[in-house]
Amino acid sequence: MILRALALALALAIPATPPLPRDVRLFIDRRAGCDHWRGEYAEDPVRRRQIERGIRKAARGSIASLTGCVDPIAATRARWR
């Protein structure tokens, strides 16, 4: 009984971490893709082109999405242009 009360008190005392905003999660996922492709190496020309395409695809828009995470007002302005 005492352990249950202690566990409940402890659970209520620890604040829950709020989830990250959607744009931040998307940026993190995109950045992970960039990091993955940048870590690839190939001497084979075909594979090298695949890696280069992967890097371009993953990196496309990453600066804009970072700006959107940091400055939501700027992201809103950019959408209206």
Determine the Cα angle at 46 with ends 44 and 50, to 5°.
Answer: 115
Model pLDDT for residues 5-57, shown as the tens digit of each residue: 666 666 666 666 677 888 888 888 888 888 888 888 888 999 999 988 888 88
Task: Give the per-residue pLDDT at 47.
Answer: 92
**Using CA atoms in the order 70, 71, 76, 79, what is the torsion angle rounded to 10 degrees?**
-60
Residue ranges of the domains in the chain? 19-80
37 — phi, psi (to 5°)?
-65, -35
Tokens of 37: 């492709």
What is the structure's pLDDT at 59? 77
Under 8 Å CB-to-CB from 28, ≥6 apart: which residues? 20
Which residues 6+ apart lie within 8 Å of 52 measured at CB?
none
pLDDT at 81 over 90: no
Question: Tokens standing for 29?
Answer: 């996922």
